[in-house]
Amino acid sequence: MIIDWERFRKLFPHLAEEMERGVARVSIEAFRVDPEEGERLARGDPWAGYNPDVIDFLRRCDRVEEAEEIIDYLERRGEITSERAERLRRQLRERGLRSFGEKKEPGYYLRNL
């Protein structure tokens, strides 16, 4: 919604004054689309209740063969659909293992609190 400043000032005189003076200014540096993730971060423990997904497992792999085994395993268990598994395999073939993100080394979650 777009509103001109004069109309805003008439509707919200105190708020307009605070905005002009810069009172109670709050900078927003980032926002979260996922409210659950935002709540986790607000509580101070970014990994509380976190459940790794297929991409997290693939980022721990050293070789393409390991990644293929993980995709096969998660597909067999029904944790990913056949369609998702095929998209992951195609990405792995066409763009490589690191296309899923940099390698997650041991201690990754402890270092990234």
Query: Are 39 and 67 found together in one domain?
Result: no
Dist. CA 76–CA 96, nearest whole Å: 22
pLDDT in tens, 39-55: 766 666 666 667 788 99
Question: Does any domain span residue 49?
Answer: no
Query: Are 101 and 74 found together in one domain?
Result: yes
Cβ atoms of residues 57 and 48 within 8 Å: no
What's the structural domain count of the chain?
2
Question: Does any domain span residue 48?
Answer: no
Question: Does any domain span residue 32?
Answer: yes
Confidence (pTM) = 0.56
Cβ atoms of residues 57 and 97 within 8 Å: no
Residues 6+ apart with CB under 8 A from 102: 59
Query: Are 36 and 85 found together in one domain?
Result: no
- Tokens 């080394």 belong to which residue? 105
| The token pair that represents 73 in the structure block | 């395993």
Dist. CA 106–CA 113, nearest whole Å: 14
Cβ atoms of residues 59 and 103 within 8 Å: yes
CA 10 to chain centre: 40
Query: Are 58 and 103 found together in one domain?
Result: yes
Dist. CA 54–CA 80, nearest whole Å: 8
Query: Are 79 and 104 found together in one domain?
Result: yes
Query: Are 11 and 37 found together in one domain?
Result: yes
Domain span at residue 88? 54-111
pLDDT in tens, 56-101: 999 999 999 999 999 999 999 999 999 999 999 999 999 999 999 8
